[in-house]
Structure 1
């Protein structure tokens, strides 16, 4: 069989499937029409078509790349016998044809008009046009919104109206609304938008429930819009009022928390059956404590985690924050905070709080076995992890991991496995904030900080060297209550790299001094601060942003010690530098940032954009960045048409037998279009661009230094991808194809159609999880 025959067969099969899926009326009866296209037309720039689409009640079948109805094609592959298991499976993973409906079109017109009315377009007109061609229906919605009604002025009901009617409770509540009225988002000349008014109702309700009004509801807030007394047409005078006589007589009263009870072993079946005598009750700091057998969590931890206290007014925000903090402990599978009203003879209203907690299993074991494929190097690996979520009964999370791997490197074909790795790590994360000098009580209360300590040791054996790395890390983690921002500050990050049994012939074969420095013993003592932001929601049905920023500095503390104590430099290989623990230590500053935008199109289509920018600058005690801290190009999570560490820097062509290219500066951008196929399968098309460069004067390679012509040295790669999404893990296959290779001479860098030899410019990647 010819080498390219397999690709031809695959192409013929895909073409056949595509053409078959383009015959979508297979299961549409003669008297029915397939809804083929829906179009929205409007001359208004204020009306977003994306908002209109949300109100359309019937939409065409899902398309991939805006053309192919793949899911309908899968459905059409099924036979007419619905009882056959294979046909059922195809129809389950596919998508049935959307048959045009007059009723749903009329519903869509009514829904669009209602949406426009709610936006302030009270004279809006929506017309639908439907035409049929070859058993397909084409629907067009023409929208004429008219002039929008805007707010002329916005006022609140005067409290004197309530006082004169002897409504003292209503008047008192209205005063608090007026005191907070400067926070309103309603402004004159704004559209009379129902969504804007609803936001104002929710703002006021939230404010009052944060001030003790436990039973207050937004239904007690009313708006009155008067267009008859406005000075101009299409204007409205807006009035906000509070219902005078609420159905709930306690809605306008503040509630105070009198008692807090904590159930550490809540079981609803036990309480429903009334057999709660197996519980032990006690008192801790005036908190009621309830548990079975023995306490598995120290009450002090939960008491300090709860954001509200006895004697305080009810505050809904503190309740939400308490939920968030309790969940962050990762100790309970069920958390519920219930407030009960306690009958009282006086005017002050009282609440009793019951916090119901159901604990998770404290200990777990995980074993992972995997095959690896990294830059053409294959191997097998495994990881054994032990986790204890509550080591000392105060929420301490201990993780012990042991891992190992056997790899076959491309440069050594004689051995089955030429590289061996073995490592062990211990990590302890505790809810206690280990900063004894600074108490920072408010910080602990608002940001839920944790302390992290980790120790690790790894050993790597190759035919050319043995590498041992001992690491220790101490730092803090915290996050804001809204969960959008997370922070990490590693106060101490120590890495002691020991190179042993280094093959002198191997080192001599490396022509680049920059790469040679990676195979010398060194020490890194750094401090690192990172921040992560994301507004991703749990349902995953909307677009979201992601940002990560990192700042790291190393060696300054050690350098200061050397200067203070006047420690002499060591002279080796025509270089002078300081040592610590018998090896040279690194001194540098490094910063990088990454931004992603996940653009959700529909349930089957998503586009992800990514931009990465990073720069490191070595100075003082080391002329180059340590190999572990330098940037590299290529690989399964970068520019996928190049193997890891084979791209760049700049236009450099690797001359070493063991290419391991790294740099000081990295610029990378990616676009990936992801689409659902069927069953567990997803497809992707991607475009990657970027490169690495050096900025240090230590560089001795041509074309590697960042300059004004850096755009001419941008590498481009593209290709298709296939993913297997099994929920608990995602297996990814990406076929990277080089488009533009900066290592080629000027004028010859576009290699996509390189005399039909493009197959030589491809890389096949296998990885776990999405690339970004």
Structure 2
């Protein structure tokens, strides 16, 4: 017998053994059932109707099956692993330990047929059908038993669905009746649509929401009556909306805003508010009772959207509360409306605000590791003042330090130490020469930042980095966010460059760019859109676009131009000029309640011009690492088909960077058990130089740049600790772009049993949070 046939026989035997084990595993769940009871494995619904289209019938069956209770034990590949863990764990003797955890956290108790009420489910199905226009539907229920397992079968005969023939709105001449009638144009009740009780309820809520924008503060949806007449025949109904006669008088009137009273130092623990006459400040339309003189009154003028005499509306009501919360100064925000005792059909608005501690210190310790074999930690100490000048300004002073030690890998002990400080001041408004007022629930902000960082790469060099920025942050809505830095200045200066590194520069001049002095002036802008907070949607998206323009205005003022004989310098440092664009698009596809497929594509390009022949190294793109292409070590992939082979005298691998970046990743995520989630992923991409570099053959982009794409794959675990996600990813390359063109796919070389292959190809990434 040949070796090939021998291997096939062994594999067949393995599959037979696995199938046998799976069969035994699946059957074992029923032997733990209580005496005389059965395991409920689910229910099905069959719609018997000769007129309904097949697609409509399947949709109705799916909707009805979702109403059946209880739900059976969860399945995976036709098996019930959670139930199996519950059974093998047995009854724990105490409320802790492995048995208790296995049974109550990982496992799931059996769903017994004794808990299934066939008649109750039949009534639920009948009610759902009638509420969706299938009047006088007939429902029957039965069950089938096989080997201590039972399924429930329901059959429904829905008859023809009733549709809406006519919709009438109130026709009376009262202010309330006219206000309701004016909402008809956007009514959810359309002639010809199927009758649906849920839509009628939603329509009442829609009308109430519209009325709340017109001053009807005391109105609620229950004051609207929907009369349905189905006696006209032809499976049609007439719907008449009317105001209930018992609707109270105050709900029939629109209300305006009278007094606006603010208590900025309200205490939840005290029953009464004590204040003196001198604590009362009248500012525009507001009465501010600030016992500690905490805030400048302009804070409330910007936060409260109501003005005296305005018609009450829910939008301004909710936006005002959200703006108070988003100021970041208050721990508790309460709003109360009371009838005015001096003006008819008017409301007095009261705001009770409880302060957060004005000053606080936050201490953070971070442990980290990356695929370049660096392991280290970082410490951050932040001191904050939430109300520096009485206008809800936030001052943050941070001191940070960290160290990364390379315990293995190519760099052989070239550890990294960093130390720095950052001071930022944020104003809850736009500081501009123009008066710009936002009406969003999110408070616009102006932020100024000063930052210094000292980084020491032992045995190589040190860098001093200074940054100053001034800009604006604002949100159009919960989905759209903008950030514009009108001034962003970065200055980088090297020192302590070792003879070893200077010798390396002679061998590889590209290393000299890393320690060049850099001076970058320019505005930056980023736009973010996301609807990933909508958990019920099947498809959600994230998009981030960044624009970085360096030296454009400064270049015009100084006349910087690379064609000139002398490069323009400021403070004896060459001025950087470039335009950089980067986009990050992500798509989240929800497959089931506990599984999803996430994809991401990143495209970025940087174009030097004028005073700069190349992009500053700190602004170029890199590839590889925990949040990039995980099968390749951090910052070592590319550019193009170039591979940096260390020279005999070199003791480390320098970072690789490029002017153009393209990356694509796709990741399948699934909940495994308890706090453990799993993932399977594929990453692809690379970086390229826009101009050829004779020291880096194959690094420049060309029409065949897609041939330089690197591909990696792997699997990972995510531990959801509620306050953070701990991620571990194990990846390996599928395509290496530096190999000869016909040998770049290395799938055939995969050999997990070979220690040499594992050492050269397996990359372990440990990180906090998801990669995207």
TM-score normalised by the chain length of structure 1: 0.85
Once the two structures are TM-superposed, the CA of residue 660 in structure 1 deviates from its matched residue by 1.9
Q: Distance in 2 between matches of 1:582 and 1:628?
A: 19
Question: How far, CA to CA, are the matches of 2:594 and 2:631 in structure 1?
Answer: 26
Q: Secondary structure at the match of 2:521?
A: strand
Q: What's 2:502 paired with?
A: 504
Match of 2:633 among 643, 661, 678: 643
Instruction: Tell me what 1:8 maps to.
Output: none
> How far apart in 1 are the matches of 2:29 and 2:286?
66
Task: For residue 536 of structure 1, report the CA deviation from its aligned partner.
Answer: 4.4
> Structure 1 residues 648 and 394, CA, compared in 2 at 3 Å: closer, same or farther?
same
Q: Which residue of 2 aligns with 1:744?
A: 739
The match for 1:137 is: 150
What is the distance in 2 between the residues matched to 1:460 and 1:529? Answer: 27
Q: CA deviation at 1:320?
A: 0.5
Aligned partners of 1:62 and 1:604 also within 8 Å: no
Structure 2 equivalent of residue 299 of structure 1: 297
- After superposition, the Cα gap between the structure-2 partners of 1:316 and 1:355, relative to the gap in structure 1 and judged at 3 Å, is same
Aligned-residue RMSD, C-alpha: 3.5
Aligned position for 1:591: 581
Against the structure 1 CA distance between its residues 383 and 269, is the aligned structure 2 distance closer, same or farther, given a 3 Å change threshold?
Answer: closer
Match 1:79 to one of 67, 87, 90: 90
2:178 equivalent to 1:184: no
How far apart are 1:296 and its partner, in Å? 2.9
Q: Distance in 2 between matches of 1:49 and 1:634?
A: 48
**Map 1:112-131 → 2, pairs under 5 A:** 112-122=125-135, 130-131=143-144
Alignment of 1:263-302 (within 5 A): 263-271=263-271, 274=272, 276=274, 281-285=279-283, 287-292=286-291, 294-302=292-300
Give SS of 1:406's match: strand
Task: Judge conservation of contact 2:490–2:521 (CA < 8 Å) in 1.
Answer: yes
Pick one of 683, 689, 704 that aligns with 2:677.
683
Alignment partners' CA distance in 2, 1:712 and 1:41? 53
* Conserved 8 A contact 2:137-2:159: yes
2:688 alignment counterpart = 694
Checking the alignment, whether the CA contact within 8 Å between 2:562 and 2:612 is kept in structure 1 is no
Distance 2:677 2:608 in 1: 42
CA contact (8 A) 1:647 1:691 kept: no
Counterpart residue number, 1:630: 620
Cα pair 2:42 2:72 within 8 Å, conserved: yes
Q: Is the 8 A contact 1:650 1:704 kept in 2?
A: yes
Is the Cα contact below 8 Å between 1:257 and 1:309 reproduced in 2?
A: yes
CA contact (8 A) 2:685 2:711 kept: no
| 3-state SS of paired residue (1:651) | coil
Out of 35, 40, 51, the residue aligned to residue 35 of structure 1 is 40
**Aligned ranges 1:322-333 → 2 under 5 Å:** 322-333=320-331
After the TM superposition, which residues 330-409 of structure 1 pair with which residues of structure 2 at under 5 Å, given as runs? 330-343=328-341, 348-374=344-370, 375-409=372-406
Q: CA deviation at 1:611?
A: 3.2
Distance 1:567 1:607 in 2: 48
Give the distance between the partners of 1:738 and 1:92, measured in 2 at CA. Answer: 39
- Does the Cα contact within 8 Å between 1:71 and 1:677 map onto a contact in 2? no
Residues 562 and 610 in structure 2, CA contact (< 8 A), matched pair in contact too? no
Cα shift at 1:324: 1.0
Provide the rounded CA distance (Å) in 1 between the counterparts of 2:156 and 2:744. Answer: 50
Residues 257, 352 of structure 1: 8 Å contact kept: yes
Q: Tell me if the contact between 1:123 and 1:147 (Cα under 8 Å) persists in the aligned partners.
A: no
> Do 2:215 and 2:312's aligned partners in 1 also have CA atoms closer than 8 Å?
yes
Task: Kindly indicate whether the alpha-carbon contact (under 8 Å) linking 1:631 and 1:692 is maintained by their aligned counterparts in 2.
Answer: no
Change (3 A) 1:597 1:82: farther
SS at match of 2:617: coil
Give, in whole Å, the separation in 1 of the partners of 2:639 and 2:545.
23
User: Match of 1:319, SS?
Assistant: helix
Cα offset, 1:96, TM superposition? 1.8
CA distance in 2: counterparts of 1:311 and 1:739, whole angstroms: 69
Aligned to 1:639, what secondary structure does the other structure show?
coil
Q: Distance in 2 between matches of 1:649 and 1:55?
A: 56
Q: 1:411 to 1:80 in 2, by over 3 A?
A: closer
The 3-state SS of whatever aligns with 1:304 is helix
Deviations 1:370-409 (A, max 9, x none): 3331221122322211122222221111111111122224
Matches within 5 A, 1:549-628: 549-563=545-559, 577-600=567-590, 604-628=594-618
After superposition, the Cα gap between the structure-2 partners of 1:316 and 1:413, relative to the gap in structure 1 and judged at 3 Å, is closer
Q: How many Å apart are 1:97 and its aligned residue?
A: 2.3
Q: Distance in 2 between matches of 1:651 and 1:33?
A: 63
CA offset at residue 82 of structure 1?
4.3
CA deviation vs aligned residue, 1:607-656 (integer Å, no higher than 9, x gap): 43333333333333323332222222221112221111122333333335
Cα distance in 2 between the residues matched to 1:724 and 1:105: 40
Unaligned runs of 5+ in 1: 1-13, 164-170
Alpha-carbon distance in structure 2 between the residues aligned to 1:568 and 1:81:
77
Post-superposition offset of 1:452 = 0.6
CA distance in 2, matches of 1:597, 1:674: 13
CA contact (8 A) 2:90 2:103 kept: no
Indicate if the aligned counterparts of 2:440 and 2:475 stay in contact, CA closer than 8 A.
Answer: no
Encode CA deviations 1:63-88: one digit per residue, 9 max, x unaligned: 56x56644434433423244463343
Q: Does residue 430 of the first structure (1) align with residue 427 of the second (2)?
A: yes
* 2:362/2:382 contact within 8 Å kept: yes
Asked whether the 8 Å contact 1:62–1:69 carries over to 2, the reply is yes
CA contact 2:729–2:765 (8 Å) conserved in 1:
yes
The 3-state SS of whatever aligns with 2:523 is strand
Instruction: Look up the SS of the partner of 2:690 in the other structure.
Output: coil
2:432 maps to 1:419 = no
1:198 to 194, 198, 201: 201
Q: Give me the whole-angstrom Cα distance separating, in 2, the residues matched to 1:284 and 1:653.
A: 71
Return the offset for 1:306.
Answer: 0.9
Choose from 689, 704, 719 the match for 1:724.
719
Structure 1 distance, partners of 2:660, 2:136, is: 58
Contact kept, 8 Å, 1:150 with 1:191, in 2: the verdict is yes
1:98 is aligned to 2:111: yes
Question: How many Å apart are 1:26 and its aligned residue?
Answer: 5.7
Choose which of 479, 488, 503 in structure 1 pairs with 2:483: 488
- Counterparts in 2 of 1:612 and 1:53: CA distance versus 1, 3 Å: farther
Aligned to 1:216: 219
Per-residue deviation, 1:322: 0.6
Q: Give 1:562 shift.
A: 1.9
Q: How many residues get paired?
A: 727
Give the aligned partner of residue 168 of structure 1: none
CA distance in 1, matches of 2:740, 2:202: 60
**Structure 1 pair 225–590 and aligned structure 2 pair: CA distance change class (3 A):** farther
Partners of 1:364 and 1:227 in 2: CA distance: 66
Gaps of at least 5 residues in structure 2 are 1-17, 48-53, 647-651
CA contact (8 A) 2:726 2:766 kept: yes
Q: Secondary structure of 2:301's match?
A: helix
Per the TM alignment, residue 518 of structure 1 is displaced from its structure 2 partner at its CA by: 3.4
CA-to-aligned-CA distance 1:199-247 (integer Å, 9 cap, x gap): 33222211211111111111222334444447xx34444433333x243
Q: In structure 2, what is the equivalent of residue 6 of structure 1?
A: none
2:55 matched residue in structure 1: 44
Deviation per CA, 1:511-538: give whole Å up to 9, x if none.
Answer: 6x4x653332222222222222333449
Q: Cα offset for 1:439?
A: 0.8
Shift of the 659–117 alpha-carbon distance from structure 1 to 2, 3 Å rule, reads farther
The farther-off stretch of 145-154 and 631-640 is 145-154
SS at match of 1:88: helix
**Residues 687 and 716 of structure 1 are in contact (CA less than 8 Å); yes or no, is this contact kept in structure 2?**
no
